[in-house]
Amino acid sequence: MLSFKAEALLKLHKADEALELLMVARESQMKKSSKVRKYDACLVVIEMQSYIYLGRFEDAVAAAEYLVQVDSRPESFMWLRKARALTDARKTGNELYKAQKYFEACNAYEQGLQYAPMNSVLLCNQAACRCKLGQWEMAIQDCDAALKSRPEYTKALLRRARANAKLQYWEESLGDYEALNQKMPDDLSISHSLLEVQMKIKHPRHEGDTLQLGGHVTNVNSYTLFLKLIQCAGFALLQFFMKSDDRCKQLSPLVNDLSRRYPSWSFLKVDVEENPDWAKIESIKIVPIFIIYKDGHKLREISKPDQRVLEHALQFHSALVA
């Protein structure tokens, strides 16, 4: 009865609950009898399947090694080979990924998927390689398969959200980010990405659209407005500052002067004391910090610059489109 219940939990994508039940059952049975019984083997198989589902391949190997001790049938050795193959595939793939050999890493994960075609962890890792290779559609397909196998797998959901955004599938990306935001409401990076996608949908850019803000420095207190401005303004220089900071006070006249000398740029500033959540989203630890954007994309971050460094940065990026 316990094995049926554990198997049912696994089919309902509740592998953690299945493992808890199996651990209790296994401990209870070990206390009652030291004899080897086929019922033990049945429990171990479900335990191993649960580990594989969760991507705990090393634990799956340990369970499979125990399985061949209590049940020496060929099927037990087949499970052991499978668990070892999955472990080796992920280890090799991860090492290649860290070495930035994304194509080879993708092939390594594919080797593991031959043993478990719907394993969510290997599919998600393969999707990461696809993203690095610019194969966004294939990354989405891998994430779709991973989520079909494991609907609550947030890593695959996040990876798909980013891939959809790269392909400008805004509605699909929005759905993924909204789901992620419900699951992880305190994750500021997800909230940030959700706002960006919402702005893309509400204010789509068309060729030739511009928003002229040059000639002065604009104080921005709305994060939503900020996203709209940097997406429409071409080049933008954003300054995080504190009114009480001496260095910020010293740079203020320079920034005002630069806004007049570079009228094609948008100059924005944010007071971190008035907008602490915003500063947290952008991981602002010190001020002043300047961030250069082009069409909504962050190009460069400059911490505590002097006049020469800041002006050179504007000259450099302006020259790229001259």
Work out the mean pLDDT of the chain and round it to a whole number: 81
Is the pLDDT at 50 greater than 80? The verdict is no
pLDDT mean over 7-32: 61
Is the pLDDT at 31 greater than 70? The verdict is no
Taking only the tens place, the pLDDT of each residue in 54-69 is 878 888 888 777 777 7
- pLDDT value at position 176? 95
pLDDT mean over 76-100: 88
Write out the DSSP string of 72-140: -SHHHHHHHHHHHHHHHHHHHHHHHHHTT-HHHHHHHHHHHHTT-TT-HHHHHHHHHHHHHTT-HHHHH
Higher pLDDT pick, 37 / 197: 197
0.85 cut: is pTM over it? Answer: no
What CATH number is given for 118-202 in this structure? 1.25.40.10
Q: Does domain 217-320 have CATH number 3.90.110.10?
A: no
- pLDDT value at position 30? 62
Is the pLDDT at 39 greater than 60? The verdict is no
Signed CA dihedral, 296, 171, 167, 210: sign only: negative
- Please check whether the two domains, 118-202 and 217-320, share a CATH topology: no
- pLDDT value at position 42? 74
Signed CA dihedral, 131, 132, 138, 139: sign only: negative
As to burial, measured by CB atoms within 10 angstroms (0-12 exposed, 13-18 middle, 19+ buried), residue 50 is: buried
Tell me how far apart the alpha carbons of residues 305 and 322 are, in angstroms, rounded to a whole number.
24
The pLDDT > 90 percentage for the chain reads 34
Give the domain 2-87 fold. Answer: 1.25.40
- pLDDT value at position 215? 61
- pLDDT value at position 16? 60
Confidence class for position 11, pLDDT limits 50, 70, 90: low
Confidence class for position 5, pLDDT limits 50, 70, 90: low
Residue ranges covered by each domain of the chain: 2-87, 118-202, 217-320
